[in-house]
Structure 1
Amino acid sequence: MKMHPADPDADLLAGAVVGEREAFRLLVERHYDRIHGLAWQLTGSRADAEDVAQDVCCTLVERIGSFRGEAKFSTWLCGIVFNACRDVHRRRRSFGGVAQRLAVLAGLARGPDGRDLHDALWVKSAIARLPPAYRDTAILVAGQQLTHAEAGAILGVAEATVSWRMHEVRRMVAGKPGADD
């Protein structure tokens, strides 16, 4: 495994890849807030974010050995979280949320708490109105502070596309008409 230059996680990562439990624990501990925060931004729900964070940590146990060092560990990890959130959205669409709503009505599960609604208001106002590609780009770049190149790698688009999308996000959030308007 090659290591991305200047990856602050290089030492812990090297240990985790060869099965050192303490290195893995410290790596997860170092990045847990980022995992949970990104999941919360992408799902809009504290409960979903907790589920995604737990799933990602379990997935890391299996996938840490496949880390190739082509990107920083934090970027690779954001990609895993992004895909896990995509899966949550996909499942929710496929079942239409019916099972979850029935579970809440039957008292088998909690509904969203007031903190979710209050804390995510800013996201749901401007960011939520963005088309999905722009929303995902904004969350990765502005919310997770990834470079345009890192976000492009996760989204599967060119760095220039991310730059253009961020320009458009700023325009849309500011309510300015675009060239197409």
Structure 2
Amino acid sequence: MSDHDAVDPTDAELLQAHVDGDREAFGVLFARHRDRLWAVALRTMGNPEDAADGLQDGLIAAYRRAASFRGDAAVTTWLHRVVVNACLDRIRAAKVRRADPLPDDLEEYGDRGSLATGGSAGDDGDPAEAAVRGERQQRVLDALSGLPAEQRAALVLVDMEGYPVSEVALILNCAEGTVKSRCSRGRAKLAVTLGLLAPGRDPDHPDPGNPAASAPVRSARSPRGPPTPD
């Protein structure tokens, strides 16, 4: 077979090669999924510093536990599960309050790693519109920090990263109904925080006449700059 016909190894093959002692395989696997893992870590933790720590914790765990992978889910699902769990562990242990601002260059990396709303990548016309869009995105990210960790993780994976509920259930190791419930409650709380509900309404029972109260959350694009673990 010529080099032109060579086929890149699958994720499962790379992970097995790592288990078998290939020193480069895990780095190749990480590089392949780096952007989305970083986007999930950043949105779950809320700022680049904590996200870098959470991502590195997760990658170290995945590196060490690779032999425990049994193939009951896709490798990408397993990687996300390990990284999300590492982030949630940090949130629970440190009771992280996300006070650090996100970087000012979020839009520079807009085409990498995740789903988003708020203008297309080429929409750089009106500075005033860009400022409003950036403020709206920041409000959503700030509001996420006030949610319980489990609701935050579900919303990040379903609404922002676009994973199907069935896969998120595997990542979070819970039932699909639990994912849906966490998303529903998280959206309702965000709607209150963002002023999308009429004053005085119960956050667990959003206004049926206001589709924004139960609509999926979309947020700012994530920077692509996770540090490479040592």
Question: Would you say same fold, with TM above 0.5?
Answer: yes
Do structure 1's residue 147 and structure 2's residue 164 form an aligned pair? yes
Q: Do residues 166 (structure 1) and 183 (structure 2) align?
A: yes
With 154-163 and 48-57 compared, the bigger mean Cα shift is at 154-163
Cα distance, 1:47–1:171 mapped onto 2, change above 3 Å: closer
Higher relative contact order (CA 8 A, sep 6+): 2
Secondary structure at the counterpart of residue 112 of structure 1: coil
Q: Residue 4 of structure 1 corresponds to which residue in structure 2? A: none
In structure 2, the residue matched to 1:84 is 86
Matched, 1:137 2:125: no
Distance 1:54 1:115 in 2: 19
The residue type paired with residue 91 of structure 1 is: A
- Determine the structure 2 residue equivalent to 1:22: 24
After superposing the two structures, state which structure 1 stretch, 116-125 or 24-33, moved more: 116-125
The alignment's TM-score, normalised by the length of structure 1, stands at: 0.70
Q: Which runs of 5+ in 2 are unaligned?
A: 1-9, 107-133, 207-230
TM-superposed deviation, 1:87:
1.9
1:41, CA displacement in angstroms? 0.7
RMSD, aligned CA: 3.1
Question: Which has the larger displacement, 19-28 or 39-48?
Answer: 19-28
Matched residues in 2 for 1:171 and 1:90: separation? 22
Shift in Å at residue 71 of structure 1?
0.7
What do the CA deviations read for 1:157-180 (whole angstroms, capped 9, x no partner)?
A: 211332344345455535386775
Identity of aligned residues (%): 34
**C-alpha displacement of 1:56:** 2.3
Q: In the alignment, does 2:110 pair up with 1:112?
A: no
Report if aligned partners of 1:56, 1:84 keep a CA contact under 8 Å in 2. yes
Q: 1:65 maps to what in 2?
A: 67
More displaced, 66-75 or 116-125? 116-125
The letter for the 2-side match of 1:124 is: D
1:34 alignment partner in structure 2: 36
Structure 1 residue ranges without an equivalent (≥5): 1-7, 98-110
> What SS does the aligned partner of 1:21 have?
coil
Say whether the 8 Å CA contact 1:39–1:52 is kept in structure 2.
yes
Distance 1:113 1:175, change over 3 A: closer
Q: Does 1:124 align with 2:142?
A: yes
Number of aligned residue pairs? 158
Taking a change above 3 Å as real, the CA distance of residues 131 and 69 of structure 1, as seen in their structure-2 partners, is same
Distance 1:122 1:9, change over 3 A: same
Q: Is the 8 A contact 2:165 2:180 kept in 1?
A: yes
Q: 1:114 to 1:144 in 2, by over 3 A?
A: closer
Aligned partners of 2:148, 2:63: CA distance in 1, in Å? 34
The Cα of 1:138 is off from its aligned counterpart by 0.7
Name the CA shift for 1:120/1:63 in 2 (closer, same or farther; >3 Å): farther
CA change 1:133–1:24 in 2 (3 A) is: closer
Q: How many Å apart are 1:48 and its aligned residue?
A: 0.9
1-structure distance, mates of 2:146, 2:197 = 11
Cα distance per residue 1:105-151 (max 9 Å; x no partner): xxxxxx935627977542113x3444544322111212333221221
